[in-house]
A and B are shown apart, each in its own frame.
Chain A
Amino acid sequence: MTTTIRPVLPDDRGRFGDYGGKFVPETLMAALAELESAYAQARADAAFQQELAHLLHSYAGRPTALYHARNLSRHCGGAKIYLKREDLAHTGAHKINNALGQALLARRMGKGRIIAETGAGQHGVATATVCAMLGLKCIVYMGAEDVQRQSLNVFRMKLLEAEVIPVESGTRTLKDAINEAIRDWVTNVETTHYLIGSVVGPHPYPMLVRDFQSVIGREARAQLLEAEGRLPNYVVACVGGGSNAIGTFYQFLGDESVKLVGVEAGGEGVETGHHAASLTAGHPGVLHGAMSYLLQDRHGQVMPTHSISAGLDYPGVGPEHSYLKDTGRAQYLAVTDSQALEGFHLLCRTEGIIPALESSHAVYYASQLARTLSPEQIVLVCLSGRGDKDMGIVAQAEGITI
């Protein structure tokens, strides 16, 4: 176990190296400054931290289990595969960690109206859940296409008394839901907190979402040390905006022996152009408030993306991932829709766990990686969410009528 001194990132301009920053309309700048200072105070406030820890434990069900997937490991015939079971957290994904943290922060700032964007609906559900519990008004923007393909989650949000607004503009997916949420925020900034669901957006969001999600890696690292007495050789997580990945990676950044792998959505194949692999196939640009890798044409127009999993279907990525890629500390690659489906079935069959299609990307890559490794090596996978929401999509992809 070796540790080196790393710079504390982001810097005071919200930069991770060249990435990040605050590329937003002037109307929002004061709100970002307010959020930054509220967060700095909350972070140092023991009462805030205690309330968050209490809710993460008693409401969200933390710590989530670390599961040694023996059958999957045996099936792959190589390294030991461990799953960090974020699918067991309340609402079925890691999204609740950040939703709780930010909603407490919003309440602290006296903002009773919460807006959020959602792709797969998991962040929308987590936000609606926390708002119901804390008595906050909740509005969720969701691309019209995602409203269709994730109708179950739309119903869940409505049960939780959130207002779900389908977004018809642009590509009608996550990117456009974020545009619309930002337009709402620009209009209602004085009364509203924008509860961003991933490590994207202007500073301080990539930092504070990372901090709220880093509970994943903190727990997993300790649990693995307890179970195995050593660190993993690899940590694998799927990357759309990249919040579960950063949340898992963060605690391992200083452990040089631990290789970090982010798995992006390869869609129909990166070579086809129908994918959402920003780090694999994009180049640096500015979208939604931050400089980061971006899928765009040569004129700087953001490209339409495709993934079987709505939660990864996003042309940008969190700026810290861009930094980790450029510095070589993490490695990023893409897994296609059909490979993700293979990973999905593999985990259902071998372990009796139905993963989210997002997480299935990581499962597939981990299963391929494990077979190239020896039995004493360890691969830690963040199983970011459960797959109940994806039944319709999987059935449709396989020509089955439910």
Chain B
Amino acid sequence: MAPLTSKAVVRDRIKEKFAALKREGRGGLIVFLTAGFPDRQATLELVPALVAAGADAVELGIPFSDPLAEGPTIQESTFRALQQGITLEDCLEMARVLRPQVPDTPLVLMGYYNPIYQFGLERFAQNCQEAGVDGVIVVDLPQEETGPLAAQCAARGIHIIPLLAPTSTDASIKAAVHTGGGFVYCISLIGVTGARDQVSNRGFELLERVRVHTSLPLAVGFGISTRQHVEQVWRQAQAAVVGSALVRLMLESPRGQLADRASRFVAQLAGRNPPKQGGTAR
């Protein structure tokens, strides 16, 4: 068990970040990347570079052999990370290394339940706390099944971030925002992850229904691929999540240009001037 004293110093970086966004009067940009893709070192280089380029929070995807809510892009990055032998333990270790480099940026682990279950729920929550992970999103753990993990995470200040969909009933929205915390991840569409040409209206309808039940900040993800999409989301929610579009760019980039190209893309999404070329490339 972690000593009780450590609980007192746990920061709520997610809360701090959304408070800062509110003060600054702007929307937040959350980026998703598969941990360990294309390799461990790339993740360690990319996260600080993307934060410098304008990412307000980072979701690290835990690779799983059967990513059944992912479209082809994240399936591919997941497969490549697994080929590198990336485990949940590695993901936690990457978070631990990254923590001091991006001290104020929320780090969220996102994945499927089985690797976490096999790792041990208590051990997982403890390790998240020690590594400075702020929240977890478990794709195949709807509110009905969240209890055992929530019990371990709540005591350690790790948020279980609710994932809601346009098909969610009002009852499940209510229950999920009650158990969860940090922010609410609203799925913009009915479907799997993947870049899309336009933002689905279904996501905006969902925001209306979620807002009735919670004061937590709302983030919109799935299919958010361009600066225009991000701006569209910001008009109605506190943050936009970009995953597949970034991962697709990474899949298409030569290893040597990875950090540079990814940073430029994130800067563009964030509406900032792109960082100077060559600065972060190896």
**B66 pairs with A287, CB closer than 8 A:** yes
Please state if A27 and B167 are interface contacts (CB–CB under 8 Å): yes
A337, chain B: closest CB distance, angstroms: 24
- A76 touches B (CB below 8 Å): no
In the complex, per-residue mask of A171-186: 1 if CB is within 8 Å of any chain B CB, else 0: 0000110110011001
B187 CB within 8 Å of chain A: yes
Please determine whether A175 and B66 come into contact, CB atoms closer than 8 angstroms.
yes
Contact A24 B117 (CB under 8 A): no
A26, CB-defined interface residue at 8 Å: yes
B5 contacts the other chain (Cβ, under 8 Å)?
no
Q: B169 contacts the other chain (Cβ, under 8 Å)? A: yes
Interface assignment of A30: CB less than 8 Å from any CB of chain B? yes
Q: Which chain A positions have C-beta within 8 A of B119?
A: 299-300
- B residues less than 8 Å from A270 (CB atoms): none
Q: Cβ of A296 < 8 Å from any Cβ of B?
A: yes
Min CB–CB distance A115 → chain B (angstroms): 13
Q: Which of B22-30, B139-147, B256-264 contacts its partner?
A: B139-147
Report which residue of A21, A25, A30, A289 has the largest number of chain B beta carbons within 10 angstroms of its beta carbon.
A25
CB contacts between A and B, total, < 8 Å: 120
Instruction: Tell me if B165 is interfacial: C-beta within 8 Å of chain A.
Output: yes
Beta-carbon contact of A299 and B115 below 8 Å = yes
Q: Is A165 in contact with chain B by the CB < 8 A criterion?
A: no
CB <8 Å contact, B87 and A299 = yes
| CB-CB under 8 A for A26 and B68, given A286-B113, A286-B140, A300-B117 | no
A306 to B27, CA, bound (A): 50
- Chain B residue numbers with a CB within 8 Å of A183 are 68-71, 192
With A22-B142, A26-B163, A299-B88 known as contacts, the answer to whether A190 contacts B115 (CB < 8 A) is no
Report yes or no: A25 in contact with B168, Cβ–Cβ below 8 A: no
Q: Does chain B have a CB within 8 A of A169?
A: yes
Question: What residues on B are CB-neighbors of A289 within 8 Å?
Answer: 140
**A186, B116: Cβ atoms under 8 Å?**
no
Known A286-B113, A296-B114; contact A30-B68, beta-carbon cutoff 8 A: no
Check: B43 CB closer than 8 A to any chain A CB.
no
Which residue of the partner chain, among B71, B118, B172, contacts A285 with CB atoms under 8 Å?
B118
Contact B145 A21 (CB under 8 A): yes
Closest-by-CB residue of A relative to B173 is: A26
Measured as residues with beta carbon below 8 angstroms from the partner, the interface class of chain A is 35 or more
Contact (A298, B118) CB under 8 Å given A26-B165, A179-B68, A186-B192: yes
Q: Nearest-CB distance from A20 to chain B (Å)?
A: 11
Contact across chains for A286 and B114 when beta carbons are under 8 A apart: yes
Enumerate chain A residues within 8 angstroms of B163, measured Cβ to Cβ.
Answer: 25-26
Residue of A nearest to B185 (CB): A26
Which of the listed residues B141, B142, B165 has the most CB atoms from chain A within 10 Å of its own CB?
B142
Residue B101, interface by CB 8 Å: no
Closest to B63 in A: A301
Assembly CA distance A25 to B222 (angstroms): 13
Determine whether A373 belongs to the interface, using a CB cutoff of 8 Å to chain B. no
Interface string of B163-178 (1 = CB under 8 A from A): 1111111001000100
Instruction: Using A26-B164, A187-B192 as known contacts, say yes or no to A169 and B75 having CB atoms under 8 A apart.
Output: yes
A298 CB to closest chain B CB, in angstroms? 7
* B68 close to A301 (CB less than 8 A): no
A: residues with CB less than 8 A from B are: 13, 21-31, 33, 169-170, 175-176, 178-179, 182-183, 186-190, 285-289, 294, 296, 298-302
A-B residue pairs in contact (CB < 8 Å), sample of 26: A23-B140, A25-B139, A25-B140, A26-B143, A26-B172, A27-B69, A27-B165, A29-B165, A29-B172, A30-B172, A170-B79, A179-B68, A182-B68, A186-B190, A186-B191, A188-B190, A286-B113, A294-B114, A296-B114, A298-B118, A300-B88, A300-B114, A300-B117, A300-B118, A301-B65, A301-B115
Interfacial residues, chain B to chain A (CB-CB below 8 A):
64-71, 75, 79, 82, 87-89, 112-119, 139-145, 163-169, 172, 176, 187, 190-192
